[in-house]
Chains A and B, each alone.
Chain A
Amino acid sequence: MVTRTETPPATGRWIKPSRRPRMLRAQRRAAVGLASPAFIVIGIVAVIPLLAAIALSLTDYNMINPPRWVGLRNYVAILTTGLFWTTVQNTLAFAVGQIAIGLVMAMGVSVLFNRRIHGGAGFRTLIYLPQAASYVAVALVWNLLLDPFAGPLDKMIRALGGSRIYFLSDSSTAMLSIIAMSIWHNLGYFVLLLLAGLQSVPLELIEAAKVDGAGSFRRFIHVTIPSMREVLVFVVVTWFLWGLQMFTQAYVMTGGGPVNATRTVVYLMYDEAFTSLHIGSASAVAVMLFALVVGSSLALRVILRGRGD
């Protein structure tokens, strides 16, 4: 066996000791051995289903008869029914509404928590607690809070002289109620991320802006926000994508009602597949949700990254 010196030769790449052929072969074998179980499972439970969704969407499969090829008929049928567009509208309304209100709140809370306050760690833990619990648990809690008869909110509204509001069975407040509940559930996670972003803003930049006479609001807009753009992009994209997946909240709180006012794309997919057993058209809905997810995450990244750099 040729022994190599460990000093770099004058030309070419220095061959590290670990890159000696026999060791390299052992490392490669270990790498394949360690990585393949995970990637085989990923292939089975994540990659194959994605491809299967596309294949199934082109059939009339219903779990009983063997699938028959129907081309794009499922897509045509879905795109020409009003219900699909209603669910797209509801899903986008939820995702946009949640992030529009939620981002402002999360930003405000993280700026607040970024100042030196007594018991800061305790407050951070407190607002993260709902995030650790399930959507089902938090949705049931909000069902109680918003209940027009047993709920505390009703008591407060009526004590202030207002009239009874049927939050979840009135189509003008149902989606707003789900948005409020979802923000309450998710706020803690995004506050943690934004806090990390705030703490990464270089202090010298803020000091320099102060010297230049910028007020605290202008410092925030022109110094703080641009220097935490990476975190902001991550928060906006993640929160928006969570919004596009909304299902559990509506299932538990409103059942998709009243009159489809809170029926989302995932809800439609669920109904198609498991109420009507139309696996083919449910898969077509899934593929279109996939397109919506990929499209909007690319669009958001371009929009948010595009300016300024």
Chain B
Amino acid sequence: MRFRTAFKSKLGLHALVLLVAALYVGPLGYVVMIALTPLNETLGSWPHTLAPGNFITAFESADFLRFFINSAVVSVTCTVIQVVLAASAGYALAQLPLPGRDILLLLLVGLIVVPAEISMVPLFVMVAHIPLAGGNDILGLGGQGWLDTLPGLMVPHLIGAMGVFLMRQFYAALPEELGNAARVDGAGEFRIFALIYTPLVRPALGIVGVLAFQGTWNDFLWPLIVTNSNSMKTLQLGLTGFFQENSTQWNLLMAAVIVVSIPVLVLFLAIQRVFTSGALSGALK
């Protein structure tokens, strides 16, 4: 008797889980099916033959290779810079007697709440007036500065308050004695940071790096406002442009959507154990 009710409630539970899963598997599977449907077949029914060539056709039908290179250069550069800056500042905030530490921490927490969109307009004005760039004079007037350039695309992604704060949390969880013991042995401060503490927070570096890459790769508003030539577009802009120009070519569009999403999905799957284990939510408190 007891076994049967337990079995029944287990069955109901699994039915509900499958329902939730279907809400995700359904659309994802549909996207893959559409992307593999040959161009001459009607969309929406199971394709007679599969057309993996769609992925190549999609990539060739717009300047996607160029967009891919732009996105990759900007995202990789910003990720490296963000991780280095977040690790060094996070360590200083957590393990060293940094003057003004409490105010700086308060600043970080405040900036996490402030949406990036609010700074976009003034940042655009600043980037347009970078002195001696893009035809500007020493006062930043006359040309277009870093507008429509790769450095311009990078500006808002050079640092993330969240990354610095996360690194600070991870470094703060390590014991102070570690550094003190090394100091007694005569190790320099930079060595203690780079060779003793930092290897212990490697998963955290991974998290901050993936978040930085994902944020830069997936960003839409800033590339939209800072670029105007086709050759400076990122993948997200390229996707939108492709949709606006060929809105009925769903199979090519979905193929492009898949290719554009693969790097972030692969990165997520690579470190998902760190994400799903709750390490991240612990650090957020």
Q: List residues of A whose CB falls within 8 A of some B CB.
A: 16-18, 23-24, 26-32, 34-35, 37-39, 41-42, 45-50, 52-53, 56, 61, 63, 109, 112-113, 115, 117-118, 121, 123-130, 132-137, 140-145, 147, 150-152, 155, 184, 192-193, 195-197, 199, 230-231, 234, 241, 244-245, 247-248, 251-252, 266, 269-270, 273-274, 279, 282-283, 286-287, 289-290, 293-294, 297
Contacts and interface: CB of A to CB of B under 8 A. Distances in A.
Contact of A145 (B27, B111, B218): B27
Interface stretch (B46-54, B55-63, B116-124): B116-124
A224 B133 CA distance: 58
Contact of A39 (B89, B189, B248, B269): B89
B98 A32 contact: yes
Given A27-B189, A289-B117, A290-B114, A35 B98 contact: yes
Given A26-B189, A144-B254, A266-B117, A123 B20 contact: yes
B264 A132 contact: yes
B138 interface: no
B243 A150 contact: no
B248 to A, nearest CB: 8
A52 B126 contact: yes
Contacts of A27: 96-97, 189
A150 B44 CA distance: 7
B225 A273 contact: yes
Given A38-B164, A128-B272, A150 B281 contact: no
Interface in B17-38: 17, 20-21, 23-25, 27-28, 30-31, 34
B80 interface: no
Interface of B: 13-14, 16-17, 20-21, 23-25, 27-28, 30-31, 34, 43-44, 85-86, 88-89, 91-93, 96-99, 104, 107-108, 111, 113-126, 128, 155-156, 158-159, 161, 164, 176, 179-180, 183-184, 189-190, 193, 214, 217-221, 224-225, 236, 239-240, 243, 248, 250, 253-254, 257, 260-261, 264-265, 267-269, 272, 275-276, 278, 280-282, 284-285
B89 A130 contact: no
A286 B34 contact: no
A132 B268 contact: yes
B121 A34 contact: no
Contact of A286 (B118, B189, B285): B118
Contacts of A115: 13
B126 A269 contact: no
B180 A140 contact: no
Given A50-B114, A133-B264, A137-B261, A234 B284 contact: yes
Nearest to A282: B121
16 contacts: A17-B184, A28-B96, A46-B159, A121-B276, A124-B276, A128-B275, A132-B268, A134-B218, A136-B218, A140-B257, A147-B250, A155-B44, A184-B27, A245-B117, A273-B121, A289-B117
Contacts of B118: 49-50, 53, 286-287, 289-290, 293
Contact of B119 (A45, A123, A152): A45
Contacts of A289: 115, 117-118
B260 A41 contact: no
Most buried by B among A38, A132, A135, A287: A38
Given A35-B88, A133-B264, A61 B125 contact: yes
A95 B220 CA distance: 20
A142 B26 CA distance: 12
**Which residue of B164, B180, B189, B280 has the most chain A CB atoms within 10 A of its CB atom?**
B189
Given A26-B189, A125-B272, A141-B257, A35 B281 contact: no
A230 B285 contact: yes
A152 B254 CA distance: 14
Contacts of B25: 126
Contact of B30 (A23, A32, A133, A145): A145
A45 B282 contact: no
Q: Give 3 nearest A-B pairs by CB, closest first.
A: A30-B189, A38-B89, A134-B218
B125 A52 contact: yes
Given A118-B14, A248-B221, A279-B121, A130 B24 contact: yes
Nearest to B260: A137
Nearest to A30: B189
Nearest to B18: A123
B158 A17 contact: no
